[in-house]
Amino acid sequence: MTRGSAPARRTTYHHGDLANALVEAGVELAREGGPQAIVLREAARRVGVSATSAYRHFADYDDLTGAVKVRAQRALTEAMMAESVPAHDDAGRQALARLRALGCGYLRFAQAEPGLFRVAFNLDAPSSKTSESFALLADALDELVASGIMDSARRPGAETAVWATVHGLAELLIDGGPLSRLGKAKRAAEIERTLDFVTRGLVS
């Protein structure tokens, strides 16, 4: 990828939705190269607007990257919710399937969009409120206890352990991680085994 890009053309003097367009360009940059690649001037260039115009909509660089981070987190949450959940008669198995689907969605997103994934976490931008993906996980764990398959004594701190495992696996799988060179089949196998491991840690 060459540095910089040809400026886009615009027909009207006023853009109409510049703030949004700049964030979208920032998201695209993040997809291509992670947090480092979010460059205010380049985002403006891609939208076809002067760099200065960004300051009509964002206080400064951090304000823009913060907006990009919010979108990245949202995309992660959506990926987690989009994962299909196989149906089970047993309430316990159903709850486990739901939890597993969240993990699969998380890992799928991290692998498909490593740049955005990094932005959602690594970016030292204004840290948003408690994340929605965390809430999804907490709900799934509550369900596990409610269904009776998980001992309520194990509930405290469970989100930390589960999140750590899935998040850590994502880190190992993407970019230059130790598992990033594995073929598709081997990666899938590692993921399955690790999710089994998580299940065992919760309901032993």
Task: Enumerate binding residues for its own copies (CB under 8 A).
Answer: 121-122, 124, 127, 130-131, 134, 156-158, 160-161, 163-172, 175-179, 189-190, 193-194, 197-198, 200-202, 204
Identity of residue 22:
L
Closer residue to its own copies, CB minimum distance, 22 or 72: 72
38-77 footprint of DNA as x/- string (CB under 7 A):
xxxxx-----xxxxxxxxxx--xxx---------------
Query: Residue 128 binds what, of DNA, its own copies, none (CB under 5 to 8 Å, by partner type)?
Result: none
Task: Find the shortest distance in angstroms from Cβ 52 to DNA.
Answer: 3
Q: How many residues bind DNA (CB under 7 A)?
A: 27
Q: Note the residues at the interface with DNA (CB under 7 A).
A: 3-4, 10, 12-16, 18, 38-42, 48-57, 60-62
